[in-house]
């Protein structure tokens, strides 16, 4: 019997310095789904190292093995930096991971706006570990299928925290990284509101993506902060989430209060990656990436 040829998925379209210049490849052990929605191409497969992997528009969005690093770090440093986040807006986040983490907090309302119903449905079906079914059934959740760019314009002084969890900055998603959108987000936030956004690789795209996002937020908000994390399933090492706040200095959060709130939540359901210590250490940046702080 001839040996079956190994199938591979190679990612080579990530933004920044890496666009079209290198490949990051994963062996496809089992193909679960390959198709196109109205908005994007979708690929879901199993890999022996990363387990189940979700790819949108040729870019890895998450793997079962390390998605908790991404989602816990996108959500908790900002949610815990805010004194009492009750109303939260997630823009994008169709895989459900950001909503799952937001709902761990005692929020009153979690609105998630994703443009692509098919992605939301596919993730509920093929990525049960993202707990979409449970999160969308939560009485605090309001799932909106629509364009986050337009949705956010309808609000003024309403949300405590906005989390931007959109596609990478290529093609149609570039507006989610623009100053005009950030201005609309600022308007939708209360006076002590905060925003967190996934940005890109610190290691390779610091100047092109991370520093630029900082500069855009700095023009609008009093405080900005980079949170550093490592994502094994993503290209090139260390990643950055950038947060901005109208009032609170992220460096001066009340750690006793963060630890108390963390303890209450962790007793119900253990965190895999986030802790107040990881939160504090993620704000320690190497000299070469400090400018955007
Ligand atoms: N973890 C991710 C990553 O690696 O970048 C992001 C995940 S999430 C799956 C990205 C989501 O953003 C997709 O479900 C996509 O449909 C959604 N999206 C893209 N543009 C959007 C827009 N303008 N409004 C709302 N959702 C949008």
CA 207 to chain centre: 20
- Calpha distance 85→44 (Å, rounded): 33
Delimit the CATH 3.40.50.150 region(s) of the chain. Answer: 67-292
**Average pLDDT in the 149-161 region?**
98
Burial 224-252 (b: 16+ CB within 10 A, else e): bbbbbbebebbbbebbbbbbbbbebebee
Choose the residue to mutate in 115, 119, 163 for probing ligand 1, maximizing ligand atoms within 8 Å of C-beta. Answer: 115
The rounded Å distance from CA 267 to ligand 1 centre is 31
Distance, first Cα to last Cα, the chain: 59
For residues 32 and 52, is the Cβ–Cβ distance under 8 A? yes
The pLDDT of residue 211 is above 90:
no
Q: Which residue has the higher pLDDT, 235 or 60?
A: 60
**Average pLDDT in the 179-205 region?**
93
For residues 98 and 70, is the Cβ–Cβ distance under 8 A? no
Q: What is the pTM of this model?
A: 0.96
For 242, the token pair is 């950038």
CATH fit for domain 8-63, picks 1.10.3720.10, 2.30.110.10, 2.30.140.10, 3.30.450.20: 2.30.140.10
pLDDT for 135 equals 98
Nearest atom in ligand 1 to 61's CA: 4
H or E element, residue 73: helix 67-81
- Calpha distance 159→52 (Å, rounded): 33
H or E element, residue 265: helix 255-268
**Average pLDDT in the 174-181 region?**
90
For 2, the token pair is 């001839």
Ligand 1 in reach of 152 Cβ (< 6 A): no
Max alpha carbon distance in the chain (Å)? 68
Q: What is the share, in percent, of the chain residues with pLDDT greater than 90? A: 77
Q: Is the dihedral of CA 61, 275, 242, 293 positive or negative?
A: negative
Ligand 1 in reach of 201 Cβ (< 6 A): no
Fold of 67-292: Rossmann fold (3.40.50)
Q: What is the pLDDT of residues 4-21, one digit of tens each?
A: 788 999 998 776 666 777
For 98, the token pair is 């950001």
Ligand 1 in reach of 114 Cβ (< 6 A): yes
- Calpha distance 21→200 (Å, rounded): 16
Protein residue with least CA distance to atom 17, ligand 1: 92
Delimit the CATH 2.30.140.10 region(s) of the chain. Answer: 8-63
- Calpha distance 220→218 (Å, rounded): 5
Ligand 1 in reach of 119 Cβ (< 6 A): yes
């Amino acid at each position: 019997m001839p040996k079956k040829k190994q199938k591979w998925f190679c990612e080579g379209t990530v933004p920044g310095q890496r666009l079209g210049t290198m490949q990051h490849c994963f062996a496809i052990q089992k193909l679960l789904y390959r198709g196109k929605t109205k908005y994007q191409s979708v690929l879901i497969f199993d890999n022996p190292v990363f387990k189940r992997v979700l790819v949108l528009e040729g870019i890895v969005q998450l793997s079962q093995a390390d998605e908790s690093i991404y989602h816990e770090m996108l959500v908790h440093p900002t949610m815990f930096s805010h004194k009492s986040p009750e109303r939260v807006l997630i823009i994008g986040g169709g895989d459900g991971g950001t909503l799952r983490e937001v709902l761990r907090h005692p929020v009153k309302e979690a609105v998630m706006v994703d443009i692509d119903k098919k992605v939301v449905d596919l993730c509920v079906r093929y990525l049960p570990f993202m707990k979409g079914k449970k999160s969308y059934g939560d009485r605090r959740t309001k799932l909106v299928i629509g364009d986050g760019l337009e949705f956010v314009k309808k609000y003024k002084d309403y949300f405590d925290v906005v989390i931007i969890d959109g596609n990478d900055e290529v093609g149609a998603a570039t507006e989610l990284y623009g100053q005009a959108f950030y201005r609309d987000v600022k308007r939708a936030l209360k006076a002590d509101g905060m925003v967190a956004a996934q940005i890109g690789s610190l290691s390779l795209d610091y100047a092109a993506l991370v520093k630029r996002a900082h500069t855009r937020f700095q023009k609008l908000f009093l405080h900005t902060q980079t949170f550093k994390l490592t994502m094994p399933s993503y290209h090139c090492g260390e990643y950055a989430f950038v947060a901005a706040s109208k009032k609170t200095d992220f460096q001066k959060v009340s750690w006793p209060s963060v630890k108390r709130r963390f303890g209450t939540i962790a007793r119900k359901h253990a965190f895999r990656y986030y802790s107040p210590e990881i939160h504090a250490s993620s704000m320690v940046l190497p000299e070469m990436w400090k400018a955007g702080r």
